Amino acid sequence: KRVASPIAVILILTKLYDFNLGSVTESSLWRSTDYGTTYEKLNDKVGLKTVLSYFYVCPTNKRKIMLLSDPDIESSILISSDEGATYQKYRLNFYIQSLLFHPKQEEWILAYSLDQKLYSSTDFGRKWQLMHERVTPSRFYWSVMGLDKEPDLVHMEARTADGHTHYLTCRIQECSETKRSGPFSRSIDINSLVVQDEYIFIQVRLFFFFEQDMHIISTAENQVFAAVQEWNQNDTYNLYVSDTRGVYFTLALENVKSSRGLEGNVMIDLYEVAGIKGIFLANKKIDDQVKTFITYNKGRDWRLLKAPDTNLRGDPVVCQLPFCSLHLHLQLSENPYTSGSISSKETVPGLMVAAGNIGSELSYTDVGMFISSDGGNSWRQIFEEEYNVWFLDWGGALVALKHTSMPIRHLWVSFDEGRSWSKYSFTSTPLFVDGSLVDPGIETQIMTIFGHFSLRSEWQLVKVDYKPIFSRKCNKDDYQTWHLHNQGEPCVMGERKIYKKRKPGSQCSLGRDYSQTVVSEPCICGQGDFECDYGYERHNNNQCIPAFWFSPSSLSKDCSIGQSYLNSTGYRRIVSNNCTDGLREKYKAKMEKCPGKAPRGLHILTSDGKLVTEQGHNRTNIQLDFGDGIAVSYANFSPVEDGIRHVYKSAGIFQVTAYAENSLGSDTAVLFLHVVCPVEHVHLSVPFVAIRNKDVNITAVVWPSQAGTLTYFWWFGNSTKPLITLESSISYIFTEEGMNTVTVQVAAGNTLIQDTKEIAVHEYFQSQLLSFSPNLDYHNPDIPEWRQDIGKVIRRALVTGIPDEQILVAVFPGLPTSAELFVLPQKNTTDRRKSSEADLEQVVEILFNALNQNLVQFELKPGVEVIVYVTQLTLAPLVDSSTGHSSSAMLMLLSVVFVGLAVFLIYKFKR
């Protein structure tokens, strides 16, 4: 079924599903022109044998209707321009899966086919033109007037001939292959394109990127709210908020609960309260308990909801914060004909209705209905069971239907914000309610309830007209004012606000001409109006200090001498906060001159300090060879104070030559220039276990690999003097047993980075390669922290009565997931080597027998059991100082590749 409501018309599409055939065999289209009092069956106007699957109402012209036929029977559309009274039928050569109407042009439509092709029409579906093939479902968007230059521009995500996914744009009438453009040249992650308001988001992978789920929740008011699922999260997301440009993100709330909808889509438990900016509700998971929090300043501060003082019977509610509070279900309804578990309206700011419970955590069994009239500061219980609650007459009245699988015949109406309810019977026979059509009931005070008298009966529609219970139209005496506050604090988002609303209990109609009056004045800026800027974290003393990974000086890295840049104080005013004066000047970013830097490129002088000869009438010609295959010439050259700039594309040592010549002679200057590329990461590649008094190869892998001339400083153990090399590898002999530390520092220009690793050094040991059941690969994000954690988990699964220090498990980078098991001798066993070797053999036999019998397994997360296997059937040879060392531990260096940090980039284009 599908119900729509253009102006005074209601259209209903019913379908008969044959369970034996597994398909729809009949459909009927019904039309009412009196808000559902009477209906006319239109099957003869659309074709008696036509089976319809869906229909659309043009959002910019409600008189235009488009019906889609069932693709299992035929491919055609039916078009109406008179509110569904008459139709014209058009055959199609493709099958439509979904339509997207232009937000301004009523004739322009995009159609997505079942075979992933995108078509366009400029005459409301009468003729179609193919735009692109292999388009990702639901990843195509119309342009927005005022942001894109062309109103007919389409943004899309599609697979191109190279098999990769790309972000493309083209115009609907000019979308040939030569006309398509790629605003972003690289390939992108599939299902990552989001075009919303003035932002365009795409997601790309760098290095060994692991799957990371991200959802753009809101882009309103020049700020982006994004939910990101980190590699160690399963059913929660972290909430991030951006600056005004949507470029730099800061963490607003961790571990926000998520769930899967009926269509498999991810739903984040975050709700933005309508009508008042800055107020959000979120369900946060804390130690396996889900609790509801509220913020009044866009995520800077969060607090629990205070439970009602009394229950429905007037008895006191014993609920002490923070051990007990009110918790709400925050899911919006996927069904347009139910109200969802929480609702609020722009037209009635401060009023919220939600399903929830009182206690230590969110419950899914003991659910009642609660209401707030003051923006979430205080709550009252209105029902002890779950109800669908809708707003009528611009929110001045509430109507409630019990949310139940049982048949009902009553509804409840309240004129005093849920303090009291009047019971009305809407049917004489109890009805199994499937939904209610309330829109446009906000204005018309009419709703349509539809359902069945029994599971085998036909559809029943009940028109409910509330106009008789509104005794009159409201006058000025029927209104009152209320002040928005946050636990008594009158300033919310930097403003004092006063709203006008109907007095509770005034049974009068607001009408179409109702307009709420909002009085607001700015507040003096205080601490609560500022959040920590990008790269800064709030500590217990409420101060924002740089995070361990952030260098404030990096803000000026792209700044040139002579220019200025905004130097952050560590604070930024919350986006859309309207406070003034006070701390605003103190916390505002300061405009500062760019710090002096060594010039980029080359500056060569002749022997007399100038690139000119003596002044006279002779013309001076200059030739400058940069040594990288590029040379330039200048005629009639004059002095340049800042030198001649040149950008080198690669690192190395270049001979730069300047040659000046005129009629009186010539001069030459030569400079050997070392060009380096700033190093960004270093990964120290070492074996996990080494043999005492045997050479060990150690390598430092630097990214980017073409970094030019580098200097390596090697520190071993507690040595105070490093070994210095120009090579990235070094051979070293460890003379002491136990854990030995290796540190490398890499210097490039004025950049110095380092990495540290530990090596277990022993006289002898045994090792064995391990593999795992394939389900571990699916959850492997391939980052060092995860590998370390998994190594510890495997070691705990292996150790049963064996000393913990004798077992070492090292998980290798890359996929499929593999690891190496090291069995080490006990401490202080050098003097009794033969007996300890026998002890080691016994430990090895115990462990490998367990592995070969598939007895070693661990639970990665609930429902995911991972089995550990022996990769090779033969044991690795005993490794000691008297035999050639061929263990996989020493050969491991050959298989370790550089693993950069997992990098997650969001590219944003302002259109």
Report pLDDT for 893: 25
**Whether 223 and 305 share a structural domain:** yes
Q: CB under 8 Å to 663, separation ≥6 — which residues?
A: 618, 619
**613 vs 505, residue with greater confidence:** 505
**Residue 538 maps to which CATH number?**
3.30.60.270
**Whether 589 and 699 share a structural domain:** no
Share of the chain above pLDDT 70, in %: 85
Report pLDDT for 560: 67
Mean residue pLDDT across the chain: 81
Contact criterion met (CB below 8 Å) for 700 and 755: yes
Report pLDDT for 513: 64
How far is the CA of 737 from the CAs of 87, 325, 667, 806, 817, in angstroms? Answer: 88, 56, 64, 13, 30
**Whether 820 and 838 share a structural domain:** yes
Identify the domain boundary among 468, 503, 522: 522
Tell me whether residue 22 is in a domain: no
Separation of alpha carbons 820 and 64, rounded Å: 67
The residue type found at 53 is S
Separation of alpha carbons 72 and 75, rounded Å: 8
Report pLDDT for 36: 82
Residue 319's CB: how many other CB atoms inside 10 A? 16
The residue type found at 674 is H
Note the pLDDT tens digit of each residue in 789-805.
Answer: 888 888 878 766 677 77
Q: Is the pLDDT of residue 305 over 50?
A: yes
**Whether 722 and 590 share a structural domain:** no
Of 107, 165, 164, 157, the closest CA to residue 131 belongs to: 157
Identify the domain boundary among 351, 366, 385: 385
Three-class DSSP category at 24? strand
Contact criterion met (CB below 8 Å) for 123 and 107: yes
- Whether omega for the bond prior to residue 6 falls within 30 degrees of 0, making it cis, is no
Separation of alpha carbons 427 and 434, rounded Å: 14
**Whether 533 and 517 share a structural domain:** no
**Residue 746 maps to which CATH number?**
2.60.40.10
Of 902, 906, 901, the closest CA to residue 215 belongs to: 906
**Whether 627 and 660 share a structural domain:** yes
**Whether 796 and 739 share a structural domain:** no
Residue 18 backbone phi and psi in degrees, to 5: -95, 110
- What DSSP string describes 352-416? EEEEEEEESS--SSS-EEEEESSTTSS-EEEESS-EEEEEEGGGTEEEEEE--SS-B-EEEEESS
Note the pLDDT tens digit of each residue in 117-131.
Answer: 999 999 999 999 999
Mean pLDDT value across residues 868-888: 46
**Whether 614 and 755 share a structural domain:** no
Separation of alpha carbons 679 and 122, rounded Å: 53
Q: Is the pLDDT of residue 607 over 60?
A: no
> Which pTM was predicted?
0.66
Separation of alpha carbons 399 and 415, rounded Å: 9
Separation of alpha carbons 463 and 402, rounded Å: 17
Q: Is the pLDDT of residue 291 over 70?
A: yes
Mean pLDDT value across residues 865-875: 70
Note the pLDDT tens digit of each residue in 613-657.
Answer: 232 333 345 677 878 888 887 765 555 545 577 777 777 777 888
Mean pLDDT value across residues 826-841: 62
Helix or strand (DSSP H, E) at 632: strand 631-635
Separation of alpha carbons 11 and 36, rounded Å: 9
The residue type found at 902 is A
How far is the CA of 560 from the CAs of 290, 680, 822, in angstroms? Answer: 50, 21, 53
**820 vs 855, residue with greater confidence:** 820
Contact criterion met (CB below 8 Å) for 505 and 415: yes
Segments forming the whole domain that contains residue 693: 681-762
Candidate from 365-369, 605-609, 814-818, 868-872 with smallest mean pLDDT: 605-609
pLDDT band at residue 511 using 50, 70 and 90 as cut-offs: low
**Whether 555 and 499 share a structural domain:** no
Q: Report the DSSP pairing between strands 52-57 and 40-41.
A: unpaired
As a residue count, the chain comes to 911
**Whether 773 and 754 share a structural domain:** no
Tell me whether residue 445 is in a domain: no
How far is the CA of 908 from the CAs of 151, 152, 217, 242, 899, in angstroms? Answer: 21, 21, 15, 12, 26
**642 vs 35, residue with greater confidence:** 35
Candidate from 154-168, 198-212, 343-357 with smallest mean pLDDT: 198-212
Beta-strand (E) ranges in 405-516?
410-414, 422-425, 432-437, 446-452, 460-465, 472-473, 479-483, 495-502, 508-509
Tell me whether residue 100 is in a domain: no
Tell me whether residue 834 is in a domain: yes
Tell me whether residue 543 is in a domain: yes
Tell me whether residue 226 is in a domain: yes
- What DSSP string describes 196-226? ETTEEEEEEEESSPPP-EEEEEE-GGG--EE
Separation of alpha carbons 285 and 681, rounded Å: 34
- Two tokens at 433? 């309610």
Identify the domain boundary among 351, 385, 419: 385
Three-class DSSP category at 787? helix
Tell me whether residue 77 is in a domain: no
**Whether 555 and 636 share a structural domain:** no
Tell me whether residue 582 is in a domain: yes
pLDDT band at residue 377 using 50, 70 and 90 as cut-offs: very high
- Whether omega for the bond prior to residue 862 falls within 30 degrees of 0, making it cis, is no
Number of domains in the chain: 6
Of 880, 495, 469, 883, the closest CA to residue 691 belongs to: 880
Contact criterion met (CB below 8 Å) for 681 and 900: yes
Sign of the C-alpha dihedral computed for residues 257, 260, 266 and 268 taken in this order: negative
**Whether 754 and 716 share a structural domain:** yes
Separation of alpha carbons 421 and 402, rounded Å: 13
- Two tokens at 436? 């209610």
Q: CB under 8 Å to 440, separation ≥6 — which residues?
A: 5
How far is the CA of 103 from the CAs of 14, 97, 545, in angstroms? Answer: 28, 20, 45
